[in-house]
Amino acid sequence: MILLGYRDHNVHELVCHEIAERAGYYDRLGIEVEAVPGPDHPEAALSAGLGGSLVEALRGQRRWKVALVHTLHPLFWIWTRKEGTGSTGPTVLAGYPEGSIVGAFTQKVLNDHWSAEEAPAVLRFPAGSTGDRLRVEALTSGVADAAVLGSAFAPSALSRLGLTDSLFFGVALKFPTAGVAVDVARTSVDHPSVRKVVAAQTAAIAKVRSRDPVALDAVASLLHDSSRADAQRLLADYLSPQYGPDPRDVHAAGADALDWLAGALHTSGHTAAEFYEAVR
């Protein structure tokens, strides 16, 4: 059994794994792959969450290298209530844990796109499904005037709650997001089982791009509180146009991403070529 750790149980991390299972790609290659919460399974040699893996690599916690990148567009949004946040941005934000990759994304997009003299007060909620629901509740109840939400909720479903998409991270920045990272302390990026996982998920990317019914089924199965029509819109508007980047674009975006994140984390001694060299 191959364990694939995920950082957050959301669509953009797990859709290709789910398609590979549903379409029988893993079976045809003679492998069994189980998606498990990464923090609970440090023995997992593969990771679906590339941003969190890069954070751990830069901090010297794990020896991750990327074997496959699904997209360069982080699927997170800042949502607000209908009255909006104005040009200065939110004052109270329901966000992710401090030190997380999504927390770093959030700080970057706030600095780049809003003009507030003071940073917003950030209410920290955990990653994962519990945190997703708590952030939505904080926003809809008025405890926060903005919330960072990932692809566990379809944008069209959140719009029906009276919320407004104020900023899509996938437009605001490029960052190699979701895919297959390999802990080379545990296995090699060229190990046959790893190459089979990469082959299966590469085939799954093609299903995403073509909006194949199996991709729609996979998206629908991963969403919270959403209809099949919501899943179809998420697939058509955000996943299909953005999945399957050219390796040259991965290396270019990866170099920028690593430089920025290393600066944000105050680390040094790593290169993008080292982290993304196996992406071909």
pLDDT 10s digits, 18-77: 999 999 999 999 999 999 999 899 999 999 999 999 999 999 999 999 999 999 999 999
Kindly report the backbone phi and psi dihedral angles of residue 58, in degrees, each rounded to the nearest multiple of 5, phi listed first: -65, -30
Which one has a higher pLDDT value, 147 or 129?
147
**Integer angstrom CA distances of residue 61 from 16, 127, 256, 258:** 26, 19, 21, 16
Stretch among 80-84, 134-138, 210-214, 252-256 having the lowest mean pLDDT: 80-84
**Domain coordinates of the chain in residue numbers?**
2-73+174-276, 76-172
Topology of the domain comprising 2-73+174-276: D-Maltodextrin-Binding Protein; domain 2 (3.40.190)
In this prediction, residue 273 carries a pLDDT of: 74
Find out whether 127 and 8 touch, Cβ atoms under 8 Å: yes
The residue length of the chain stands at 280
Tell me the CATH number for domain 76-172. 3.40.190.10
Asked whether the domain spanning 76-172 has the same topology as the one spanning 2-73+174-276, the reply is yes
pTM strictly above 0.95: no
Q: Using one digit for the tens of pLDDT, what is the confidence trace for 189-228?
A: 999 999 999 999 999 999 999 999 999 999 999 999 899 9
User: Which residue do the tokens 């297959």 mark?
Assistant: 180
Tell how far CA 114 is from the center of its chain: 23
CA gap 170, 71 in Å, rounded: 9
Tokens 């991390």 correspond to what residue? 13
**Rounded CA gap, 63 and 60, in Å?**
7
Q: What is the pLDDT of residues 83-134, one digit of tens each?
A: 555 566 788 999 999 889 999 999 999 888 876 667 788 999 998 778 989 9
- pLDDT band of residue 230 (cuts 50, 70, 90) is very high
